[in-house]
Chains A and B, each alone.
Chain A
Amino acid sequence: GAGVSQSPRYKVAKRGQDVALRCDPISGHVSLFWYQQALGQGPEFLTYFQNEAQLDKSGLPSDRFFAERPEGSVSTLKIQRTQQEDSAVYLCASSLPFRETGTDTQYFGPGTRLTVL
């Protein structure tokens, strides 16, 4: 079946522009995660949804970052007034509930590479 998809794969924005990054999780996956990955580093947690509820947004670096998942499937990560330090790869991951699998194995999308000029 289809994996996690993300769009666009690449985004170039001028400093100060708003961007929206989309994630289509695996069908039926309840949990959805966003991570930010800087060059040469591991992914860093941004936020987490269970269905449409955003249960943890402790990793969002500032109030310019906003995520939503209104119908419990597709999610959008929005960054307002982009800054150069926002340049990174943004990864989305989905997983089934722990109670169904006994693990929190996550399935990652290919990421969106954001470059802010």
Chain B
Amino acid sequence: SQKIEQNSEALNIQEGKTATLTCNYTNYSPAYLQWYRQDPGRGPVFLLLIRENEKEKRKERLKVTFDTTLKQSLFHITASQPADSATYLCALDLYNQGGKLIFGQGTELSVKP
């Protein structure tokens, strides 16, 4: 069966540390993998996209890796801040599906001062 799974437990880290979130999938062949941030009561906000032929993508304090052999993406936030506390969603963007996204269940990140 097809599955996409993120860290099941909430992630609690200290300010200044690096947060690492995991996204694993089975039986999908995505063209892209996207990461979104969602705050309570709000819609998801796009953060980063990585293509299937890319290994790594960076944007400011964010880094995403994509291993299509392991079927895994890692999302890193370096020098984390309390303002980074939110739920982070990974989403698969499949070929020829019109752009519809298949989301993981999300990982809740809490950064303590």
Query: Which residues of A are at the interface with B, using a C-beta cutoff of 8 A?
Result: 4, 31, 33, 35, 40-45, 48, 50, 55-56, 59, 91, 93, 95, 98, 103-111
Contacts and interface: CB of A to CB of B under 8 A. Distances in A.
A107 B99 CA distance: 12
Please indicate which of the listed interface residues A42, A59, A108, A109 has the most CB atoms of chain B within 10 Å of its own CB: A42
A106 B101 contact: yes
Interface residues of B, number: 23
Contacts of B41: 110
A66 B59 CA distance: 39
B28 interface: no
B113 interface: no
A41 B102 CA distance: 12
Contact of A104 (B42, B101, B103): B101
B62 to A, nearest CB: 15
Contacts of B89: 42-43
Contacts of A111: 42-43
Nearest to A34: B100
Given A105-B34, A105-B46, A108-B43, A43 B100 contact: no
A117 to B, nearest CB: 21
